[in-house]
Amino acid sequence: MQFERLKIQGFKSFVDFSEFVIEPGLTGVVGPNGCGKSNLVEAMRWVMGESSYKAMRASGMDDVIFSGSGKRPARNAAEVTLVLRNDLRTAPPAFNEADLLEVTRRIERQAGSSYRINGKDVRARDVQLLFADASTGARSPAMVRQGQIGELIAAKPTQRRTILEEAAGISGLHSRRHDAELR
Ligand code: ATP
Ligand code: MG
């Protein structure tokens, strides 16, 4: 699966609807300090199911919603959609007929997050597994935070194994096994 586009509205500094087309190959994001480059990457991490608000540099999940500026009032909701090309037909069976997958996460103040895939309500877990099976996701080695390379070097062997398993695309299987063992 390949990223096709990213749509953001009300998330952090992206108060108005913004749409970014992601062409095949390498994409660079440039701009002055504080223009929202990190917020853009965080929007991708968030729609993939990030559950830690600390990873969003926030003090609560509602903090990802645009909090107002000098001229603009705060928003009550944020929504991010990541559109994926399903050309290799590797999506979960329920969605595998579609050429494009639109994965959406929405948050409303004091009401928490909801997720949709192609308009159908799904659980956070479904979205997290979709990305884990595609060897990516909010916590995967495909999303490298500042300082993370240093953490990898200092990690214990078991922690490093987790990272390698995520890179190999088998962390979704481990996660399912864990669920099965709990039942
Ligand atoms: P740098 O080059 O310094 O890394 P950057 O382009 O990565 O900068 P970001 O960290 O993405 O910048 O954006 C910071 C801006 O986002 C700040 O101006 C901050 O006020 C704004 N911001 C963060 N959260 C919110 C929010 N919830 N509502 C409104 N603005 C927000
Ligand atoms: Mg930054």
Tell me the pLDDT tens digit for each residue of 8-51.
999 999 999 999 999 999 999 999 999 999 999 999 999 999 99
ipTM for the predicted complex comes to 0.98
Task: Say if residues 105 and 113 touch (Cβ distance below 8 Å).
Answer: yes
Determine which residue's CA is closest to atom 15 belonging to ligand 1.
Answer: 34
Cα 8 from Cα 82, distance rounded (Å):
9
Q: What is the pLDDT of residues 70-110, one digit of tens each?
A: 999 999 999 999 999 999 888 888 899 999 999 999 999 99
Tell me the C-alpha distance between 21 and 183, whole Å: 42
Q: Give CA–CA dist 3/84, Å, rounded.
A: 5
Tell me the ligand closest to 46's alpha carbon. 1
Q: Is the CB of 97 under 6 A from ligand 1?
A: no
Model confidence at 128, pLDDT cuts 50, 70, 90, reads very high
Q: Bridge-partner residues for 80, per DSSP?
A: 8, 105
Q: Is the Cβ atom of 62 under 6 angstroms away from ligand 1?
A: no
